[in-house]
Structure 1
């Protein structure tokens, strides 16, 4: 039996970030699906997505709003938030919210967190 590669959706309005995250995730063995905003991700549905990485500061539906929408539709789906605004990430950590990453993020830490979240999710089924 061939095991399916986990699918990680990335939502960011910065094409450079989308491209670098897509390359990083693909090189780590994941299938990366990139979206420039929340709309196309939500329109396509969340089925088949194993983890979501989203920027917080985006026009339209921001990353925090997207996280809340995703939690209603798929409460089991791990969501990581990325931001260039350090005070937001620091405040999130102080409040005990995991899954906040500041840009530029530590690649090894991000990949370790993605792997941990997917393993924890799979073992929780």
Structure 2
């Protein structure tokens, strides 16, 4: 009985997908989101997220620089299917200025970033 109640509670929590090829960053963000009351799902690549589908997801947080499909390409793919889906981008690079205009309706977080600011952005996107 407790397990069923636990599952129901999880279904009611917003689901945030985290996409990052760095397993340390992926795990840290998943832990952060879980501790803030969200349900998190981690993916090591954009392709793995897309192959699982976007159903059931409420927000996506993705790294920009990844092998294969990068964060900008993932944003475009998500936007073509679910234009209302909030997507937040993360990067450790500082030469992204030229592409920043492509993220006008999305947040861009430069690593290292204040996790409180990220959580506020997620909260605001879900409001």
Q: Confirm or deny a common fold (TM above 0.5).
A: yes
Which among 4, 26, 30 is matched to residue 18 of structure 1?
A: 26
Q: Distance in 2 between matches of 1:81 and 1:96?
A: 11
Give the RMSD, CA atoms, in angstroms.
2.1
Q: Secondary structure at the match of 1:86?
A: coil
- TM-score with structure 2 length normalisation? 0.85
Q: Secondary structure at the match of 1:16?
A: helix
Q: Deviations over 1:82-119 (max 9, x none)?
A: 000123269627x8554000111111100000000011
Which among 119, 122, 126 is matched to residue 118 of structure 1?
A: 126
Report what 1:87 is aligned to.
95
Change (3 A) 1:90 1:24: farther
2:51 aligned with 1:43: yes
Report what 1:123 is aligned to.
none
Q: Distance in 1 between matches of 2:83 and 2:105?
A: 15
- TM-score with structure 1 length normalisation? 0.87
Q: Distance in 2 between matches of 1:6 and 1:98?
A: 18
Structure index of larger Rg: 2
Report what 1:108 is aligned to.
116
- The answer for unaligned runs of 5 or more in structure 2 is 1-7
2:84 aligned with 1:62: no
Q: Secondary structure at the match of 1:115?
A: helix
Q: Deviations over 1:48-105 (max 9, x none)?
A: 0000000000000000000000000111100000000123269627x85540001111
Corresponding pairs, count: 118
